[in-house]
Structure 1
């Protein structure tokens, strides 16, 4: 028997506060919506899971990948969970 904990793969375990949502320039999943980057104004696409996270964190700003690379300081980056990605790809959100 292993002492390792089974990772939490639920969609809702990633609801901790966030300051920034990084979005790409192509729609990644059915139901993606277009927004403007808060820093440069370029159009970006936010998948349904990201839209859900934005509802939970209304003060978070959306930035594009180019602006992410320009950010100064240490940023804590977290990718969507596997469950969030699967839900986005299935289009059942």
Structure 2
């Protein structure tokens, strides 16, 4: 469990996380520590990992976001209503 907690912590710090995400993962770590000797403890860490995965953009998605922002900055019209 220590290696998994360390990995989840490093994933939390790798991305630009907001306060609520940090608070959520901290709560999961505390709940895991409280439930450590029970079968439910593993579910807490799985939920934390899934939460981080769901709230972290992929490298591809980040690239697409940057490309769209750059195109908008240059004044391109990405979407226009058809007459």
TM-score by length of 1: 0.26
More helix by share: 2
TM-score by length of 2: 0.28
